[in-house]
Amino acid sequence: MIAQEMLVAAAAGLVGVTATALLVLWTWRWRLIVLAAQYVGVFFLVQASWPTSLALTKLIAGWIAVIVLWLASSALPAAGPKKPRRFSQPTWLTADVFPGAVLRFLSSLMVIAAAISILPQATTWLGSQDDLTVFGGLVLVGLGVLHLGMSARPFGICLALLTFSSGFEVLYAVVETSAMVAGLQAAINLGLALAISYMLIEPAEESG
């Protein structure tokens, strides 16, 4: 039991670090590596409430989404030097990356502090005694919304929605166990990754 609690605590810390890193990092390769690590934390958080075989669908679907986004992003340079700029960060951020990264990091700390403050009410409302799992879900939802508000390009929006979806999945796992809902959530993640990948690749194909 103690080992399980330590594992859940480590997973909650992992999703907090990775969700923050997705906000701060700029290169798509590192962001996708961090996203893959985030799904490991989501797997262990969901495993605390669901059977391992069912929780494993979160990890597999998440990694497949990461692979799809990786392949789509890797295809961009082949279309020509101008195409990746279409999906680069806004000018006011690229002009000086450090202040933007600091702003995002401080904003993420505020979201994490807010998640800690509402944790007792959230656990009561969800009817759960697992504070760490609920905390991990709240952090993912909060940072996903923050990331969505700070993103202006399809790739960043996709990462934000995937993070938010992971947080919802963690919180839902605390409330109910459903194989059908798990499959639906996996399909949503994969569909989102495919849709964004199409948006990334389509302009390159038209110019080619």
What local confidence, expressed as pLDDT, does residue 96 receive? 53
Secondary structure in 3-state letters for 113-170: HHHHHHHHHHHHHHCCCCHHHHHHHHHHHHHHHHHHHCCCCHHHHHHHHHHHHHHHHH
Q: Is 124 exposed, middle or buried (0-12, 13-18, 19+ CB in 10 A)?
A: exposed
Does residue 30 surpass a pLDDT of 90?
Answer: yes
Residue 77 pLDDT: 56
What is the average per-residue pLDDT within 4-11? 88
CB atoms within 10 A of CB 187: 11
Predicted pLDDT of residue 78: 45
**Which structure tokens are listed for 84?**
């990746």
Domains of the chain by residue range: 2-207
User: What's this model's pTM, rounded to 2 decimal places?
Assistant: 0.84
80 pLDDT higher than 60? no
Mean of per-residue pLDDT scores for the chain:
84
